[in-house]
Amino acid sequence: MRNSKITWAMLAGVILALVAGIGVAVAINRNSSEPAAAPAGPQPGPSATASATPSASPSPAPSPGVDIKGPLDLVLVGVDTRVSIPDWEPHADAIMLLHVDAGLKSAYLYSLPRDLRVDIPAYKKSGFGGGRYKITEAMSRGSRIPGSKKKSVAQGYELLTKTLSRYTGIKTFQGGAILNFGGMAKLVDELGGIDMTIDQRVESRHRKPDGSLRPLARGGGDFVGPQAVYQPGKRHLVGWQAIDYARQRYGLPNGDYDRQRHHRQLVRAILATAMKQGLEDPAKLGGVIRALGKSLVYVGGRTPFEYAYALRDLTPANITMVSLPGGGVGRGGGYLGEQLKAEGKGFLKALARNQHAAYLADHPKLVDKG
């Protein structure tokens, strides 16, 4: 039973890389920090000249990550990687944050709108002087390298987290991850697809019913041709379908806020499927890890293996999905971006005071039901 629990913890580390920055995949691919196997074969016994007094057994080494204490704040950034496009810059298309309580057994997952109007601080590395912009731009403005056409995703992430700290009041993020949508689709396929409850009719702007990409109209403009459609109800989705459904915002009643909810539904479905499967087969677990490959970049001070052990008791049932309502803001009839409503800002303030559970009890509509 213990091996099964630790295996789930490792898997949770892989999946939580997608929701909160615990990048087990990268650690396994790039590091050699896995516990060493016990030596094979019989070990030499004591020599004939050794003291007859038996030596004390050495104390077992503490499990890696046993010293990690809560609370933890972790961040995931989803980017639509198009590095082959001239002048490409990374934009934070999806921003999700996970707050893990002090006991490391319960957590809260919430999203921020990509178009949230925030004060982005000055950032010397990129030559950015600071200003009020959409939060998605923190990544791109921070990624610029003066005198070079190259972009630094790591710099962009750093400025984004500085911006997040200023806006949310969270002083430090203990870990983070940057991933592209293709990597998440590969993960879903490696799990054999996922079961999701579609909560509203969604028409794809990007995909045809067979999964191929819809072409742009001649001369530019919007996409044209048949569209994939996701009807309400329980559905089994393969990788491209799951990601395509979760990416849509145009044509939805609440735009990006509906999309944020669908992001969290996707995370819940991935976690539930992974836990249901168990993935105790090392070959299967290895396939899940390899599926992420270069699509995931881990950012954090502790190794993902340590986080995996520390979060071994954190299961999908103990992760509360939180919706922060907001609305558009403008000037002179022009759209400037989004701002959170009072209830959403109130949650962030309560979180900073460690009063978030009580706040959600008083504002139950903020908790995702599906």
Q: How confident is the model at residue 175 (pLDDT cuts 50, 70, 90)?
A: confident
Q: How confident is the model at residue 22 (pLDDT cuts 50, 70, 90)?
A: very low
53 located within any domain:
no
> What is the percent of the chain where pLDDT is above 70?
74
Q: How confident is the model at residue 303 (pLDDT cuts 50, 70, 90)?
A: low
Cβ-based neighbour number of residue 326 at 10 Å: 23
Q: How confident is the model at residue 295 (pLDDT cuts 50, 70, 90)?
A: low
Region of poorest pLDDT, from 16-20, 117-121, 173-177, 350-354:
16-20
d(CA 261, CA 78): 15
221 located within any domain:
yes
> What CATH number corresponds to the domain at position 69?
3.40.630.190
Does residue 6 surpass a pLDDT of 80? Answer: no
357 located within any domain:
yes
Q: How confident is the model at residue 47 (pLDDT cuts 50, 70, 90)?
A: very low
Q: How confident is the model at residue 291 (pLDDT cuts 50, 70, 90)?
A: low
128 located within any domain:
yes
136 located within any domain:
yes
d(CA 298, CA 156): 14
d(CA 205, CA 22): 31
d(CA 108, CA 81): 27
35 located within any domain:
no
pLDDT of residue 88: 79
Q: Which residues pair with 132 in a beta bridge?
A: 119
Helix (H, G, I), strand (E, B) or coil at 299: strand
The total number of structural domains in the chain stands at 1
283 located within any domain:
yes
pLDDT of residue 19: 42
CB 209 within 8 A of CB 229: yes
Put simply, whether the predicted model's pTM sits higher than 0.85 gets the answer: no
pLDDT of residue 231: 97
Does residue 297 surpass a pLDDT of 80? Answer: no
Q: What is the DSSP letter of 63?
A: P
Q: How confident is the model at residue 197 (pLDDT cuts 50, 70, 90)?
A: very high
Q: What tens digit of pLDDT does each residue of 216-243 get?
A: 898 878 899 999 999 999 999 999 999 9
| Residue 51, CA distances (Å) to 42, 47, 58, 150, 232 in order | 21, 9, 17, 65, 75
Q: Find out whether the peptide bond into 71 is cis, omega within 30 degrees of 0.
A: yes
CB 30 within 8 A of CB 303: no
What six digits make up the tokens of 259?
């999309």
Structural domain of 225: 2-30+65-366
Bigger pLDDT: 123 vs 63: 123
Does residue 330 surpass a pLDDT of 70? Answer: yes
50 located within any domain:
no
Cα dihedral value 119, 122, 128, 131, nearest 10: 30
Does residue 304 surpass a pLDDT of 50? Answer: yes
> What is the percent of the chain where pLDDT is above 90?
51
